[in-house]
A = this chain, B = another copy of it.
Amino acid sequence: MDITQYMEQVGRQARLASRAMARADSAQRNRALLLIADAIERDAAALRAANQLDLDAAAAAGLAPALLDRLTLSDKAIATMVEGLRQIVALPDPIGEISGLKFRPSGIQVGQMRVPLGVIGIIYEARPNVTVDAAGLCIKSGNATILRGGSEAIHCNRALAKLVMEGLQGAGLPADGVQVVDTTDRAAVGALITMPQYVDVIVPRGGKGLISRLMKEATVPMIKHLDGICHVYIDAMADMKKALDVAFNAKCQRYSPCNTMETLLVARAIAPRVLPELAKLYAAEKVELRCDPESYKILEGYPQLVRATEEDWATEYLAPILAVRVVEGIDEAMDHISTWSSKHTESIITEDYSDAMRFLREVDSASVMVNASTRFADGFEYGLGAEIGISNDKLHARGPVGLEGLTSMKYVVFGHGEVRK
Protein backbone atom coordinates (compact mmCIF):
# COMPACT_ATOMS: atom_id res chain seq x y z
CA MET A 1 0.00 0.00 0.00
CA ASP A 2 1.47 3.37 -0.95
CA ILE A 3 1.38 6.41 1.28
CA THR A 4 -1.65 7.98 -0.45
CA GLN A 5 -3.69 4.82 -0.04
CA TYR A 6 -2.54 4.46 3.54
CA MET A 7 -3.55 8.02 4.47
CA GLU A 8 -6.86 7.62 2.62
CA GLN A 9 -7.54 4.59 4.80
CA VAL A 10 -6.54 6.44 7.97
CA GLY A 11 -8.84 9.32 6.98
CA ARG A 12 -11.80 7.08 6.18
CA GLN A 13 -11.40 5.21 9.48
CA ALA A 14 -11.21 8.51 11.38
CA ARG A 15 -14.38 9.83 9.76
CA LEU A 16 -16.18 6.60 10.60
CA ALA A 17 -14.90 6.60 14.19
CA SER A 18 -15.86 10.26 14.63
CA ARG A 19 -19.56 9.37 14.70
CA ALA A 20 -19.09 6.95 17.61
CA MET A 21 -16.80 9.41 19.41
CA ALA A 22 -19.43 12.15 19.07
CA ARG A 23 -22.19 9.84 20.33
CA ALA A 24 -20.25 8.70 23.41
CA ASP A 25 -21.42 10.21 26.68
CA SER A 26 -19.20 12.06 29.17
CA ALA A 27 -18.68 9.03 31.41
CA GLN A 28 -17.49 6.88 28.51
CA ARG A 29 -15.00 9.49 27.27
CA ASN A 30 -13.69 10.07 30.79
CA ARG A 31 -13.38 6.33 31.34
CA ALA A 32 -11.20 6.05 28.23
CA LEU A 33 -8.95 8.85 29.52
CA LEU A 34 -8.53 7.15 32.90
CA LEU A 35 -7.80 3.77 31.30
CA ILE A 36 -5.12 5.37 29.12
CA ALA A 37 -3.58 7.07 32.17
CA ASP A 38 -3.51 3.76 34.03
CA ALA A 39 -2.00 1.92 31.07
CA ILE A 40 0.77 4.50 30.72
CA GLU A 41 1.61 4.16 34.41
CA ARG A 42 1.59 0.39 34.15
CA ASP A 43 3.78 0.26 31.04
CA ALA A 44 6.16 3.09 31.94
CA ALA A 45 9.20 0.85 31.64
CA ALA A 46 8.22 -0.37 28.18
CA LEU A 47 7.58 3.22 27.07
CA ARG A 48 11.01 4.27 28.25
CA ALA A 49 12.53 1.32 26.37
CA ALA A 50 10.72 2.36 23.17
CA ASN A 51 11.85 5.93 23.72
CA GLN A 52 15.45 4.68 24.11
CA LEU A 53 15.30 3.26 20.57
CA ASP A 54 14.30 6.73 19.34
CA LEU A 55 17.01 8.42 21.41
CA ASP A 56 19.72 6.03 20.17
CA ALA A 57 18.74 6.59 16.56
CA ALA A 58 18.54 10.36 17.08
CA ALA A 59 21.93 10.50 18.79
CA ALA A 60 23.46 8.44 15.98
CA ALA A 61 21.91 10.85 13.48
CA GLY A 62 23.48 13.74 15.36
CA LEU A 63 20.27 15.45 16.57
CA ALA A 64 20.92 18.70 18.47
CA PRO A 65 20.96 18.40 22.29
CA ALA A 66 17.85 20.63 22.67
CA LEU A 67 15.90 18.34 20.34
CA LEU A 68 17.18 15.22 22.13
CA ASP A 69 15.98 16.79 25.35
CA ARG A 70 12.46 17.29 23.97
CA LEU A 71 12.46 13.75 22.59
CA THR A 72 13.27 12.24 25.98
CA LEU A 73 10.46 10.53 27.88
CA SER A 74 11.74 10.70 31.44
CA ASP A 75 9.96 9.28 34.49
CA LYS A 76 8.95 12.82 35.29
CA ALA A 77 7.58 13.39 31.75
CA ILE A 78 5.55 10.18 32.02
CA ALA A 79 4.14 11.23 35.39
CA THR A 80 3.21 14.64 33.93
CA MET A 81 1.40 13.03 30.99
CA VAL A 82 -0.58 10.78 33.34
CA GLU A 83 -1.41 13.69 35.62
CA GLY A 84 -2.44 15.75 32.56
CA LEU A 85 -4.93 13.09 31.46
CA ARG A 86 -6.48 12.95 34.93
CA GLN A 87 -6.78 16.73 34.94
CA ILE A 88 -8.61 16.60 31.60
CA VAL A 89 -11.07 14.11 33.13
CA ALA A 90 -11.83 16.68 35.84
CA LEU A 91 -12.72 19.41 33.30
CA PRO A 92 -16.40 20.00 32.54
CA ASP A 93 -17.68 18.25 29.40
CA PRO A 94 -17.93 20.89 26.66
CA ILE A 95 -20.19 18.72 24.51
CA GLY A 96 -23.98 18.87 24.26
CA GLU A 97 -24.47 22.18 26.07
CA ILE A 98 -27.40 24.08 24.55
CA SER A 99 -27.35 27.85 24.86
CA GLY A 100 -29.70 30.67 23.98
CA LEU A 101 -32.76 28.43 23.54
CA LYS A 102 -35.57 30.90 22.85
CA PHE A 103 -39.08 30.81 21.46
CA ARG A 104 -39.51 32.65 18.16
CA PRO A 105 -42.72 34.33 16.95
CA SER A 106 -43.36 31.32 14.66
CA GLY A 107 -43.59 29.05 17.70
CA ILE A 108 -40.32 27.17 17.18
CA GLN A 109 -37.69 27.19 19.91
CA VAL A 110 -34.16 27.89 18.58
CA GLY A 111 -30.83 27.45 20.35
CA GLN A 112 -27.26 26.36 19.70
CA MET A 113 -25.71 23.05 20.76
CA ARG A 114 -21.98 22.62 21.26
CA VAL A 115 -20.80 19.58 19.29
CA PRO A 116 -17.45 18.04 18.35
CA LEU A 117 -15.81 19.30 15.15
CA GLY A 118 -15.41 15.73 13.90
CA VAL A 119 -11.87 14.76 12.93
CA ILE A 120 -8.87 16.75 14.19
CA GLY A 121 -5.44 16.31 12.60
CA ILE A 122 -2.49 17.23 14.82
CA ILE A 123 0.94 17.73 13.31
CA TYR A 124 3.81 18.15 15.75
CA GLU A 125 7.51 17.76 16.20
CA ALA A 126 9.34 14.98 18.02
CA ARG A 127 7.74 15.48 21.45
CA PRO A 128 6.10 12.26 22.67
CA ASN A 129 4.16 14.05 25.41
CA VAL A 130 2.14 15.91 22.75
CA THR A 131 0.81 12.55 21.53
CA VAL A 132 -0.92 11.96 24.85
CA ASP A 133 -1.90 15.58 25.60
CA ALA A 134 -3.50 16.05 22.18
CA ALA A 135 -5.21 12.66 22.19
CA GLY A 136 -6.61 13.45 25.63
CA LEU A 137 -8.10 16.80 24.59
CA CYS A 138 -9.62 15.33 21.43
CA ILE A 139 -11.17 12.38 23.29
CA LYS A 140 -12.59 14.72 25.93
CA SER A 141 -14.17 16.90 23.25
CA GLY A 142 -15.70 13.92 21.39
CA ASN A 143 -13.50 14.17 18.32
CA ALA A 144 -11.64 11.52 16.37
CA THR A 145 -7.96 12.34 15.94
CA ILE A 146 -5.13 11.68 13.54
CA LEU A 147 -1.74 12.34 15.13
CA ARG A 148 1.36 12.92 13.07
CA GLY A 149 4.36 13.35 15.36
CA GLY A 150 7.97 13.97 14.36
CA SER A 151 9.52 10.88 12.80
CA GLU A 152 12.32 10.79 15.41
CA ALA A 153 9.71 9.74 18.01
CA ILE A 154 8.16 6.93 15.98
CA HIS A 155 8.95 4.03 18.35
CA CYS A 156 7.69 5.88 21.36
CA ASN A 157 4.59 7.10 19.54
CA ARG A 158 3.79 3.58 18.37
CA ALA A 159 3.97 2.33 21.94
CA LEU A 160 1.77 5.19 23.15
CA ALA A 161 -0.71 4.61 20.32
CA LYS A 162 -1.14 1.00 21.50
CA LEU A 163 -2.02 2.15 25.00
CA VAL A 164 -4.42 4.83 23.75
CA MET A 165 -6.16 2.26 21.55
CA GLU A 166 -6.43 -0.12 24.51
CA GLY A 167 -8.01 2.63 26.62
CA LEU A 168 -10.53 3.53 23.91
CA GLN A 169 -11.58 -0.08 23.44
CA GLY A 170 -11.78 -0.63 27.20
CA ALA A 171 -14.34 2.17 27.34
CA GLY A 172 -16.31 0.77 24.40
CA LEU A 173 -15.06 3.40 21.96
CA PRO A 174 -13.65 2.64 18.50
CA ALA A 175 -9.91 1.93 18.44
CA ASP A 176 -9.68 4.26 15.43
CA GLY A 177 -10.87 7.17 17.58
CA VAL A 178 -7.19 8.09 17.87
CA GLN A 179 -4.81 7.03 15.11
CA VAL A 180 -1.07 7.63 15.15
CA VAL A 181 0.25 7.87 11.60
CA ASP A 182 2.58 4.89 11.46
CA THR A 183 5.11 6.01 8.88
CA THR A 184 8.04 8.38 8.85
CA ASP A 185 7.33 9.29 5.21
CA ARG A 186 6.89 13.05 4.96
CA ALA A 187 4.29 12.61 2.21
CA ALA A 188 1.89 11.60 5.00
CA VAL A 189 1.75 15.24 6.14
CA GLY A 190 0.98 16.43 2.62
CA ALA A 191 -1.88 13.94 2.42
CA LEU A 192 -3.25 14.80 5.86
CA ILE A 193 -3.58 18.52 5.14
CA THR A 194 -5.35 17.98 1.83
CA MET A 195 -8.15 15.60 2.89
CA PRO A 196 -11.04 17.97 3.77
CA GLN A 197 -13.44 15.10 3.16
CA TYR A 198 -11.96 13.29 6.18
CA VAL A 199 -10.31 15.97 8.32
CA ASP A 200 -12.21 18.99 9.71
CA VAL A 201 -9.31 20.96 11.12
CA ILE A 202 -5.54 20.72 11.42
CA VAL A 203 -3.76 21.91 14.56
CA PRO A 204 -0.07 22.26 13.76
CA ARG A 205 2.16 22.48 16.82
CA GLY A 206 5.66 23.50 16.02
CA GLY A 207 7.88 26.30 14.85
CA LYS A 208 7.12 29.03 12.36
CA GLY A 209 8.94 27.10 9.64
CA LEU A 210 6.59 24.13 9.91
CA ILE A 211 3.48 26.30 9.94
CA SER A 212 4.50 28.44 6.96
CA ARG A 213 5.18 25.27 4.99
CA LEU A 214 1.78 23.81 5.85
CA MET A 215 -0.05 27.08 5.05
CA LYS A 216 1.09 26.95 1.44
CA GLU A 217 -0.42 23.53 0.80
CA ALA A 218 -3.26 22.96 3.24
CA THR A 219 -6.84 22.78 1.97
CA VAL A 220 -8.09 21.71 5.41
CA PRO A 221 -8.63 24.73 7.72
CA MET A 222 -5.96 25.20 10.38
CA ILE A 223 -5.96 26.52 13.93
CA LYS A 224 -2.48 27.85 13.60
CA HIS A 225 0.01 29.72 15.65
CA LEU A 226 2.71 31.61 13.81
CA ASP A 227 4.82 33.89 15.96
CA GLY A 228 4.63 36.14 18.97
CA ILE A 229 6.04 39.61 18.47
CA CYS A 230 4.53 40.97 21.67
CA HIS A 231 4.72 44.60 22.83
CA VAL A 232 4.60 46.37 26.15
CA TYR A 233 3.84 50.09 25.94
CA ILE A 234 4.74 52.21 28.95
CA ASP A 235 2.39 55.18 28.81
CA ALA A 236 3.27 58.66 30.09
CA MET A 237 0.86 58.08 32.97
CA ALA A 238 2.31 54.71 33.98
CA ASP A 239 2.87 53.80 37.60
CA MET A 240 6.65 53.41 37.88
CA LYS A 241 6.61 50.22 39.96
CA LYS A 242 4.08 48.50 37.68
CA ALA A 243 6.08 49.57 34.62
CA LEU A 244 9.33 48.11 36.01
CA ASP A 245 7.69 44.92 37.29
CA VAL A 246 5.77 44.16 34.11
CA ALA A 247 8.42 45.19 31.57
CA PHE A 248 11.01 43.09 33.42
CA ASN A 249 8.75 40.06 33.87
CA ALA A 250 7.42 40.16 30.29
CA LYS A 251 10.97 39.86 28.95
CA CYS A 252 12.95 37.94 31.57
CA GLN A 253 10.62 35.43 33.22
CA ARG A 254 11.31 33.08 30.30
CA TYR A 255 12.85 33.90 26.93
CA SER A 256 11.49 31.15 24.66
CA PRO A 257 7.68 31.37 24.98
CA CYS A 258 5.66 33.09 22.29
CA ASN A 259 4.06 35.44 24.82
CA THR A 260 7.39 36.97 25.86
CA MET A 261 7.79 40.69 25.07
CA GLU A 262 10.04 41.37 22.08
CA THR A 263 9.59 45.16 21.74
CA LEU A 264 9.25 47.77 24.46
CA LEU A 265 7.59 51.08 23.55
CA VAL A 266 7.97 53.99 25.95
CA ALA A 267 6.19 57.36 25.96
CA ARG A 268 8.57 60.28 25.46
CA ALA A 269 7.45 62.01 28.67
CA ILE A 270 8.39 59.07 30.90
CA ALA A 271 11.30 57.55 28.95
CA PRO A 272 14.15 59.48 30.69
CA ARG A 273 12.86 58.29 34.09
CA VAL A 274 11.80 54.71 33.37
CA LEU A 275 14.41 53.51 30.88
CA PRO A 276 17.51 53.92 33.10
CA GLU A 277 15.75 52.12 35.98
CA LEU A 278 14.66 49.30 33.68
CA ALA A 279 18.16 49.06 32.23
CA LYS A 280 19.53 48.23 35.69
CA LEU A 281 17.16 45.26 35.89
CA TYR A 282 17.93 44.07 32.35
CA ALA A 283 21.67 44.48 32.87
CA ALA A 284 21.55 41.99 35.74
CA GLU A 285 20.12 39.46 33.28
CA LYS A 286 22.51 40.44 30.47
CA VAL A 287 19.66 41.46 28.15
CA GLU A 288 20.88 43.06 24.93
CA LEU A 289 18.94 46.25 24.13
CA ARG A 290 18.38 47.22 20.48
CA CYS A 291 17.40 50.84 20.60
CA ASP A 292 15.99 53.53 18.33
CA PRO A 293 18.09 56.74 18.33
CA GLU A 294 16.13 58.35 21.16
CA SER A 295 16.25 55.45 23.61
CA TYR A 296 19.88 54.80 22.58
CA LYS A 297 20.77 58.29 23.71
CA ILE A 298 19.01 57.85 27.05
CA LEU A 299 20.67 54.48 27.65
CA GLU A 300 24.19 55.38 26.53
CA GLY A 301 26.65 53.49 28.71
CA TYR A 302 24.48 50.36 29.00
CA PRO A 303 26.83 47.38 28.56
CA GLN A 304 24.93 45.64 25.71
CA LEU A 305 23.57 48.54 23.71
CA VAL A 306 22.95 48.12 19.96
CA ARG A 307 21.34 50.43 17.39
CA ALA A 308 18.04 48.99 16.19
CA THR A 309 17.31 48.54 12.50
CA GLU A 310 13.82 48.18 11.03
CA GLU A 311 14.32 44.42 11.05
CA ASP A 312 14.32 44.48 14.84
CA TRP A 313 10.69 45.61 14.94
CA ALA A 314 9.80 42.47 12.97
CA THR A 315 11.90 39.95 14.89
CA GLU A 316 10.80 37.35 17.43
CA TYR A 317 14.07 36.96 19.34
CA LEU A 318 13.07 34.22 21.82
CA ALA A 319 16.31 35.24 23.53
CA PRO A 320 17.66 37.83 26.01
CA ILE A 321 17.38 40.59 23.41
CA LEU A 322 14.85 43.42 23.47
CA ALA A 323 13.97 46.08 20.90
CA VAL A 324 13.28 49.49 22.46
CA ARG A 325 11.61 52.54 20.95
CA VAL A 326 10.49 55.90 22.28
CA VAL A 327 7.10 57.09 20.98
CA GLU A 328 5.21 60.35 21.41
CA GLY A 329 2.25 58.69 23.08
CA ILE A 330 -0.54 56.11 22.73
CA ASP A 331 -1.34 56.91 19.09
CA GLU A 332 2.21 56.40 17.91
CA ALA A 333 2.45 53.28 20.09
CA MET A 334 -0.69 51.81 18.51
CA ASP A 335 0.56 52.74 15.03
CA HIS A 336 3.81 50.87 15.74
CA ILE A 337 1.87 47.86 17.04
CA SER A 338 -0.50 47.91 14.08
CA THR A 339 2.47 47.88 11.70
CA TRP A 340 4.79 45.38 13.37
CA SER A 341 2.87 43.19 15.79
CA SER A 342 2.11 39.56 15.00
CA LYS A 343 -1.26 40.20 16.72
CA HIS A 344 -0.49 37.83 19.59
CA THR A 345 -0.38 39.85 22.84
CA GLU A 346 0.18 43.50 23.77
CA SER A 347 0.04 45.27 27.11
CA ILE A 348 -0.23 48.93 28.10
CA ILE A 349 1.10 50.16 31.44
CA THR A 350 -0.90 53.20 32.50
CA GLU A 351 -2.98 54.78 35.25
CA ASP A 352 -4.89 56.81 32.65
CA TYR A 353 -8.40 55.42 32.32
CA SER A 354 -9.08 56.69 28.81
CA ASP A 355 -5.76 55.44 27.41
CA ALA A 356 -6.39 52.03 29.00
CA MET A 357 -9.85 51.80 27.43
CA ARG A 358 -8.63 52.98 24.03
CA PHE A 359 -5.77 50.47 24.02
CA LEU A 360 -8.11 47.59 24.94
CA ARG A 361 -10.59 48.56 22.27
CA GLU A 362 -8.34 49.57 19.40
CA VAL A 363 -5.39 47.18 19.49
CA ASP A 364 -6.21 44.31 17.14
CA SER A 365 -4.41 41.40 18.83
CA ALA A 366 -5.59 38.10 20.27
CA SER A 367 -4.84 39.29 23.81
CA VAL A 368 -4.82 42.94 24.88
CA MET A 369 -3.86 43.78 28.45
CA VAL A 370 -3.66 46.67 30.88
CA ASN A 371 -1.03 46.63 33.62
CA ALA A 372 -0.25 42.92 33.29
CA SER A 373 2.64 40.89 31.94
CA THR A 374 2.24 39.50 28.42
CA ARG A 375 3.43 36.18 29.89
CA PHE A 376 -0.12 35.62 31.20
CA ALA A 377 -1.40 34.92 27.68
CA ASP A 378 -1.96 31.19 27.89
CA GLY A 379 -4.80 28.73 28.36
CA PHE A 380 -4.02 27.78 31.92
CA GLU A 381 -3.61 31.37 33.14
CA TYR A 382 -6.86 32.30 31.38
CA GLY A 383 -8.70 29.45 33.07
CA LEU A 384 -9.37 27.30 30.01
CA GLY A 385 -8.13 24.27 31.97
CA ALA A 386 -6.07 22.98 29.05
CA GLU A 387 -4.61 24.31 25.85
CA ILE A 388 -4.40 22.62 22.45
CA GLY A 389 -2.52 25.61 21.03
CA ILE A 390 -2.61 29.36 20.51
CA SER A 391 -4.29 30.82 17.45
CA ASN A 392 -3.02 33.82 15.50
CA ASP A 393 -6.16 33.67 13.38
CA LYS A 394 -9.25 35.80 13.83
CA LEU A 395 -11.79 33.25 12.64
CA HIS A 396 -13.11 30.49 14.91
CA ALA A 397 -10.59 30.43 17.78
CA ARG A 398 -8.41 33.41 18.67
CA GLY A 399 -5.64 33.37 21.26
CA PRO A 400 -5.26 30.41 23.64
CA VAL A 401 -7.42 27.52 22.43
CA GLY A 402 -8.98 25.18 24.96
CA LEU A 403 -11.51 22.39 24.56
CA GLU A 404 -14.11 24.79 23.11
CA GLY A 405 -11.82 25.46 20.15
CA LEU A 406 -12.25 21.79 19.21
CA THR A 407 -16.02 22.17 19.06
CA SER A 408 -18.60 23.81 16.83
CA MET A 409 -22.05 25.25 17.52
CA LYS A 410 -24.94 23.81 15.53
CA TYR A 411 -28.45 25.20 15.62
CA VAL A 412 -31.13 23.05 17.22
CA VAL A 413 -34.83 23.68 16.72
CA PHE A 414 -37.54 22.27 18.98
CA GLY A 415 -40.81 22.41 17.09
CA HIS A 416 -44.40 21.32 17.58
CA GLY A 417 -45.37 20.81 13.98
CA GLU A 418 -44.68 24.40 12.87
CA VAL A 419 -44.53 25.21 9.16
CA ARG A 420 -43.26 28.32 7.36
CA LYS A 421 -46.01 30.69 6.21
Contacts and interface: CB of A to CB of B under 8 A. Distances in A.
B410 A367 contact: yes
A364 to B, nearest CB: 7
Interface string A383-415: 100000000011110111000000011111111
Number of copies of this kind of chain in the complex: 2
Given A377-B411, A394-B117, A411-B382, A416 B366 contact: no
A96 B361 CA distance: 7
A360 B113 contact: yes
B108 A419 contact: no
A400 B411 contact: yes
Contacts of A377: 411, 413
B362 A417 contact: no
Contacts of A417: 239, 241-242, 245-246, 371-372
Given A108-B381, A381-B104, A420-B373, A395 B408 contact: yes
Contacts of A110: 381-383
Given A418-B376, A419-B249, A413 B108 contact: no
A221 interface: yes
A415 B371 contact: yes
B370 A22 contact: no
A395 B221 contact: yes
A118 B395 CA distance: 11
Contacts of A369: 108, 412-415
Most chain B CB within 10 A, of A338, A370, A377, is at A370
A409 B418 CA distance: 35
Given A245-B419, A249-B419, A381-B106, A411 B366 contact: yes
B413 A375 contact: no
A291 interface: no
Interface in A233-251: 239, 241-242, 245-246, 248-250
B398 A368 contact: no
Contacts of A415: 246, 347, 369-373, 376
A375 B393 CA distance: 33
A419 B104 contact: no
A19 interface: yes
B409 A398 contact: yes
A102 interface: yes
B118 A361 contact: no
Contacts of A364: 19, 22, 115, 118, 410
Nearest to A253: B420
A411 B253 CA distance: 22
A182 interface: no
Among A19, A365, A370, A372, find the residue whose CB has the most chain B CB atoms closer than 10 A: A372
A413 B362 contact: no
Contacts of A368: 113, 410-413
A23 interface: yes
A8 B117 CA distance: 35
A201 interface: yes
A200 interface: yes
A328 to B, nearest CB: 18
A80 B273 CA distance: 61
Contacts of A372: 108, 413-419
Interface string A174-200: 000000000000000000000000001
Contacts of A23: 361-362
Contacts of A201: 394-395
Interface string A331-366: 000000010000000010000000000001110111
B338 A19 contact: yes
B371 A416 contact: yes
5 nearest interchain CB pairs? A372-B415, A249-B419, A242-B417, A375-B420, A369-B413
7 contacts: A113-B361, A115-B364, A246-B417, A249-B420, A364-B410, A371-B418, A382-B411
